[in-house]
Structure 1
Amino acid sequence: MDPAANSSLHFPGNQSDMVSSVFTRRALPWLYLAACAAGLPLNGAAAWIFFRVPSDSALVVYLKNMAVADLLMLATFPFRVAVELGVGGWRLRALTCRYTSVLFYASMYVGILLMGLISLERYVKIVGPTRCRGRCRCRGRFLRDPGAARVLAALAWGLLAACALPNAALTRRAADEESSRHCVRLKSPLGVQWHRASALFSVGLFWLTLLVLAFSYWSIARRICRSYRRVRRDGAGVGRKSNRGIFCLLAVFFVCFVPYHVCRVPYTLSQMPASGFGPEWRFLLFQAKEATLFLSAANVCLDPVIYFLMCRKFRESLLARLSRRDPGSAATAVVIAATATTPSVSDI
């Protein structure tokens, strides 16, 4: 996990200015501020609704944990914005290096792992029954058990906490105006080594999760296509609604997380000694890394859409509360429910 989100992690002296631009210094902070302004009410409302929904299914357990991870990530946005806009001075920069950036990346990778668990749960629900006809128990059935889901979610949190906490604990060198501009200078030698190891581990978790999602949703797509061939009546309409619910998570995953991890490989190589990358390439790779990192952060604004489309109980609870709060919106709620609650294999 990167220990900081600023541009000066690996460049000594004044060389950090080589990768700065109007985009990273001026535009990007306001983009994070806009994401924070949009994400806080969306995720706050989602949490308010979600934690009144009973955790009686594995999907609900995973989605609730995703909501917590998103709220924790959102809590780090104001710190990043303040640092980039020059508010708070070097003490706030040191605080960001030691704690909030670590929390940002830990929350992001918890969300990524939870997406992988959701895809496996959907695979077992949709594909599993067709693969174990005549058997008493389906392999992987435990993935749909709420108790097992709580254990797996706790393991995801524990794994990323074990990765992230040393990054915070080992960033303990005294900070001042100059050293706070380069987060790596606040780390002990062991802290630098731990950061590299944890970064490689986190990237490995991402690519493993990507493989899990690809397998799960490829299998689900095949299963749905076979079902539509059997049921031809209204097949196209139902297919669109079902796919919208099932594949929204996959779309969010690819839009938000894949670009950053593709850019991260050449960017990391460019930071190594004697990498052969010139200043122009370092500048371009840093811009690409920062832009795609923002896409990853913008995931917090899209996850509520996943909750609405994937979880019938969340959707029904939200629509019921909207109708109760504003009787005039009941007709609108009925229209939304008609288009979003059509029974599909993705619903609980």
Structure 2
Amino acid sequence: QNKTVSITLPVVYTVVALISIPGNLFSLWVLCWHIKPKTPSVIFMINLSITDLMLSSCFPFQISYHIQNNHWTFGKTLCSLVTVMFYSNMYSSILTMTCISIERYMGVVYPMKLIKWRRKRYALAACLVMWIFLLLAFYPLESTDLTYEVKELGIITCFDILKWDMLPNFGAWVAFLLTLFVVLFLIPFIVTVGCYIGIIRKLIQTSNRYGNRQKTRSIYLAIIVLLVFITCFAPNNFILLAHMIIRLFYGRSLYPAYKLTLCLSCFNNCLDPF
């Protein structure tokens, strides 16, 4: 138990929910009914809005949990459901933003050469593959009782204490954690950063050549999006990696720091609609 975590997370989740839910509902309404045609970028942004709303639906349970000093009162099934929804949607945000960065990179840097790949059906297929992969990656959480009774404290935790029998052996744990860090964060992170750097370079070159104010705005927007992506997702995932290494090999923990950096990831929900 950590008082800082128990106080900070409910406050942050409440603020994020109050901003994110109306913001993403409005964004979804505009994207679905007022923007035509449905380009790949629009498809990805619709997926991002739905993802953010699904993540926000987990906040009431998380708020209640932390207010009660990490005591889960909603049963085993809801614990697994909320946990899978929370983390799969968080990583879905990363993957969707990566898809958006790739689509924008193709549109800015290779507008004619790669036009055949910028089609609605490919965007829909990418979203479908993304969700199938996430559900497979989080299957261990879907098939395990994630609650744990701490008799000394008189509480039942939800996904705060992992059970080693969730996976068959040490190698399976390493594979699971590497999937979370490398496949669902590091590779998308590198691709997204690379795409936005390429976009910014291309816009700077054309802006200098033509002196276009609109392109100068686009440069600033690309820089802001890149900084938001790095700020929201990098700290949490790097601390998760450090926590798991320290936990597996040295028996110590960075778990409170990891939980606090989740706040940064959740703040992305507030920023996506804008």
Do residues 198 (structure 1) and 176 (structure 2) align? yes
User: 1:92-125, CA deviations, whole angstroms, 9 ceiling, x for partnerless residues?
Assistant: 2645541211111100111111111111111111
Contact 2:6–2:66 (8 Å) recurs in 1: yes
Cα 1:102–1:55 shift into 2, 3 Å: farther
Cα 1:290–1:87 shift into 2, 3 Å: closer
Q: Partners in 2 of 1:115 and 1:65 — Cα distance?
A: 10
**Paired residue total:** 267
Contact 1:119–1:216 (8 Å) recurs in 2: yes
Cα 1:50–1:246 shift into 2, 3 Å: same
Of 228, 231, 240 in structure 2, the residue corresponding to residue 264 of structure 1 is: 240
Contact 1:46–1:67 (8 Å) recurs in 2: yes
Instruction: Give 1:8's aligned residue.
Output: none
Query: Residue type of the partner of 1:35?
Result: V
Note the C-alpha offset of 1:196.
Answer: 5.4
Cα 1:266–1:144 shift into 2, 3 Å: same
Kindly report which structure 2 residues correspond to 1:204-219, keeping only aligned pairs within 5 A, or say none. 204-205=182-183, 206-219=185-198
Structure 2 runs not aligned, ≥5 long: none
Cα 1:276–1:262 shift into 2, 3 Å: same
Do residues 141 (structure 1) and 115 (structure 2) align? yes
Do residues 243 (structure 1) and 222 (structure 2) align? no
Instruction: Give 1:230's aligned residue.
Output: 209
Q: Partners in 2 of 1:96 and 1:265 — Cα distance?
A: 27
Say which SS state the counterpart of residue 80 (structure 1) adopts.
helix
Of 297, 306, 309 in structure 1, the residue corresponding to residue 266 of structure 2 is: 297
Of 12, 15, 25 in structure 2, the residue corresponding to residue 44 of structure 1 is: 25
Q: Partners in 2 of 1:290 and 1:301 — Cα distance?
A: 18
- Higher CA-based Rg: 1
Q: Partners in 2 of 1:224 and 1:108 — Cα distance?
A: 30
Identity over the aligned pairs, expressed in percent?
A: 24
Structure 1 runs not aligned, ≥5 long: 1-16, 130-136, 306-348
Say which SS state the counterpart of residue 56 (structure 1) adopts.
coil
User: 1:22-45, CA deviations, whole angstroms, 9 ceiling, x for partnerless residues?
Assistant: 310122211111111111111121
Do residues 109 (structure 1) and 91 (structure 2) align? yes
Of 102, 123, 126 in structure 2, the residue corresponding to residue 120 of structure 1 is: 102
Q: Partners in 2 of 1:243 and 1:158 — Cα distance?
A: 34
Cα 1:287–1:229 shift into 2, 3 Å: same
Instruction: Give 2:132's aligned residue.
Output: 158
Note the C-alpha offset of 1:180.
Answer: 3.3
Q: Partners in 2 of 1:74 and 1:231 — Cα distance?
A: 43
Cα 1:185–1:108 shift into 2, 3 Å: closer
Cα 1:176–1:217 shift into 2, 3 Å: closer
Query: Residue type of the partner of 2:124?
Result: R
TM-score normalised by the chain length of structure 2:
0.86
Q: CA RMSD of the aligned region, Å? A: 2.7
Instruction: Give 1:32's aligned residue.
Output: 13
Contact 1:61–1:146 (8 Å) recurs in 2: yes
Say which SS state the counterpart of residue 257 (structure 1) adopts.
helix
Say which SS state the counterpart of residue 145 (structure 2) adopts.
coil
Contact 2:55–2:90 (8 Å) recurs in 1: yes
TM-score normalised by the chain length of structure 1:
0.69
User: 1:141-178, CA deviations, whole angstroms, 9 ceiling, x for partnerless residues?
Assistant: 343111111111111111101122441123278x6564
Q: Partners in 2 of 1:180 and 1:94 — Cα distance?
A: 10
